[in-house]
Chain A
Amino acid sequence: MMSSFTSQFRGLKAAFTREVRAYFAAPIAYVFITVFLVALGLFTWEGARFFDTGVVDLAPFFMWHPWLYMIFLPALAMRLWADERAAGTDEILLSLPVELPGLVLGKLMAAWSVAGVALAFTLPMWITVNVLGSPDNVAIALTYLMSFVMAGAYVAIGAAASALTSRQVTAFVLAVVVAFLFTAAGWPLVLSGIAGFAGPGAADAVARFSFLTHFEAAQNGVLELRAVFFFASVILLFASLNGLWAAGRRTP
């Protein structure tokens, strides 16, 4: 039973190593990490007035994560399947004795790892706030963890969109739209609009699907298993769609 379960993930390691190699063989990963860090720095310092708040924590830094992930992670994931289809290499993948769940997870984890590397490069921020004062390090650690888990959800959306088309740009736009819906669903502006239009109950229901709402919970220093479970569910949902859409190549 166990072996038939694990055999569903045949090809995971091969797909993962290939994609990580592809990210770092071309300048994609380096460009991605650099631009991401520059953007995050700009938003944190200029947009959120990091030094002017008078409070020593990373809130003005973390608040931008969902919004930047929304743009950057679909860009990172857009090539995963679209490129295979454009080059015709998906025909090689489908002819190998591997399983689609393995390929889907391998690719997803490769892009997720690059996102993790980018996130790891922001650790000097954490050191800085510790030099400036004494922040709640448990809360920061939890928020970092949650940010990484949330990144997986954005990557999963991007990868799934990539399986729908042979054009990377189409995959990117599609993924950003979907990611925006999931992100903005927790935006106070959107929520108050929905509350006014359809009542506070409806706003609550929409907020339940928002990445923002679930991400903010971690910043209070409480590990909300519910939030982890939520992001894991989103990843599972989009990975499944990804597999379904990639399998569609077998039955045009």
Chain B
Amino acid sequence: MLELHQLTKAYGTRKAVDRLSLSVSKGEVLGFLGPNGAGKSTTMRMIAGVLIPDEGDTVIAGHSILTDRRAAQASLGYLPEGAPLYADMTPPQYLAFLARARDLPRGEREDRIDQAIADARISSVVDKQIGALSKGYRRRVGLAGAILHDPPVLVLDEPMDGLDPNQKRAVRALIARMAPEKVILISTHTLEDVPRLCSRVAVIDQGRIVADASPAELAGEYTLEAAFKALTDQSEAQAA
């Protein structure tokens, strides 16, 4: 359902993502872990069609992002890093813009928007301009935008960032509810989210995947944090 083939992206001489391949199937929630600057967001941007890879390709629900971009993007829900949004719109206006841009059937738009607002739990802020919302609400408006068209593949860059514990629980429940029918790729640097959220973990460091296992396997007899530290320590040492 989601296949990354040898994705490569360099900024100048530095390879942000280096021949990264990955295949995620329906029902899996893949946690994308790695230190800052490891290439998580760059990889997700390439999947979303925001960045064109130097080499490699992504196939979303059977459509190549390079040769069949619109079909691939129609099958994808994407929450960019930092959840950028139009500050001058209310959440329903923003979702209506996305529905129009995605060319969703006219008769369905209202229902889809209502559903996304309910799922992301933002019904209490529908009359407010997005710019006036707290970080947690903004993140959830971004999430509502990602799930609006009920895509088979979701790519969420730090969806938990800025949420309080109650909001986190709600988002976890939503992801768990959607998981059986979708492919979900989530990046996070909050390790305690991982066992509760993900069925599989890929650790990325310096643009390469250094581990790909279930959260339990990865943690083994140690903690997840120790495994993360061991796997990605090298780049910290090099940076220092």
Contacts and interface: CB of A to CB of B under 8 A. Distances in A.
Interface stretch (A9-17, A31-39, A145-153, A161-169): A9-17
Given A94-B50, A95-B49, A95-B73, A88 B101 contact: no
Given A25-B88, A97-B74, A91 B100 contact: no
Contacts of B103: 10, 97
B73 A97 contact: yes
A101 to B, nearest CB: 13
Interface residues of A, number: 27
A162 to B, nearest CB: 16
Nearest to B83: A88
Contact of B84 (A22, A89, A99): A89
B52 A95 contact: no
A137 B226 CA distance: 82
B37 interface: no
A118 interface: no
Contact of B73 (A15, A18, A22, A96): A96
Contacts of A88: 80, 82, 84
Contacts of B51: 250-252
B78 interface: yes
Interface in A1-53: 7, 10-11, 13-15, 17-18, 21-22, 25-26
Given A91-B45, A92-B80, A250-B52, A18 B70 contact: no
Q: Which of the four size classes fits the interface of chain B?
A: 20 to 34
A13 B100 contact: yes
A22 B86 contact: yes
Contact of B88 (A22, A95, A98): A22
Contacts of B80: 88, 91-92, 95
B11 interface: yes
Interface in A125-162: none
A87 B74 CA distance: 23
B207 to A, nearest CB: 16
B97 to A, nearest CB: 5
Contacts, number: 76
B86 A89 contact: yes
A97 B71 contact: yes
B101 A91 contact: no
Nearest to B98: A96
Nearest to B142: A92
A26 B129 CA distance: 11
A97 B73 CA distance: 5
Contacts of B98: 96
- Which of A18, A88, A98 has the most chain B CB atoms inside 10 A of its CB? A18
Interface of B: 11, 45, 48-52, 69-71, 73-74, 76, 78, 80, 82, 84-89, 93, 97-98, 100-103, 145
Given A95-B76, A95-B80, 9 more contacts: A14-B100, A87-B84, A89-B84, A91-B45, A91-B84, A94-B48, A96-B102, A250-B49, A252-B11
Interface of A: 7, 10-11, 13-15, 17-18, 21-22, 25-26, 87-89, 91-92, 94-99, 249-252
